Structure 1
Amino acid sequence: MSLENVRLSQSAKDRLVWLKRTTGITQWNVLCRWALALSLKDPSTPLVKEIVTDSNVEMSWRTFTGQHGDIYLALLKQRCLADGEEPTEENVAKALVVHLHRGVGYLGGHKGMATVEGLVGSLVKQ
């Protein structure tokens, strides 16, 4: 597992397809960034540790993060440390997959997040 490519599970892809339709946000990477941020905001440890990334949605790390790759990498490393894991490349890659998928679940599980306003509100509310 590495950070070079980010790949989604089929269930995550299905939820993102719905979100693309309802929010009007057409890029996978934008929705995935929201999902990751939403999961990282939650201080609890994700329950699922293994995700099967079996869909045809795949993007490079650069596409996923845009010009903010260093920031996303630092956030993931910090989360590994907060969860008691060494921030090795493998642990950071696992954290990315687990948090990305948990965040997609959060986005797809709340009707209020079916709009851009709902997405913004989900991250700025305390």
Structure 2
Amino acid sequence: MKRRTGVMNWNVLCRWALCRSLAEPTAPPTTSPNSDTAVEMTWKTFSGAAGDLYWWLIKQRARELGLPLDEQALHAQLRAHITRGTQYLVGDANMRDTPDLVALLS
């Protein structure tokens, strides 16, 4: 994804992945809390200045779907959304560069 889009920071790509997944009306498949991921980062690195907004979005979606709202469940939802969103972005043959990411907004 970094090479295809030109976006060089994983935290930015993970934010796009989160938003891409949240655009789907269904809950993402749950992932194992011990599942191995290629990228680890702190919440502050992931969220930047918009941390409260991202956390609210996760919490609101969980509420809409009737999912638990405790911190552990919300963290699991965050991981699941980023995983699903990344899979969508990687699997999209039309995702070739930054303008293709921006086109998702329309």
Give TM-score scaled by structure 1 length.
0.78
Question: Counterpart of 2:11?
Answer: 29
Residue 62 (structure 2) pairs with residue 80 (structure 1): yes
- 2:47 alignment partner in structure 1: 65
Look up the equivalent residue of 2:57 and give its one-letter code. L
The residue identity in structure 2 corresponding to 1:115 is D
Give aligned-pair identity as a percent: 42
The CA distance in 1 between the partners of 2:13 and 2:38, in whole Å, is 16
1:1-126 aligned at under 5 Å gives the runs 19-46=1-28, 48-51=29-32, 52-122=34-104, 124-125=105-106
How many angstroms does 1:38 deviate by? Answer: 0.5
Structure 2 residue identity aligned to 1:95: Q
- Aligned match of 1:3: none
Instruction: Show structure 1 runs of 5+ residues with no match.
Output: 1-18
Contact 2:4 2:95 in 1 (8 A): no
Deviation larger for 72-81 or 84-93 = 84-93
Aligned residues: 105
Instruction: Pick the structure with more helix per residue.
Output: 1
Report the Cα distance in structure 2 between the residues aligned to 1:70 and 1:94, rounded to whole angstroms: 17
Query: 4+ residue stretches of structure 1 with deviation over 6 A?
Result: none
Q: 3-state DSSP class of the match of 1:68?
A: helix
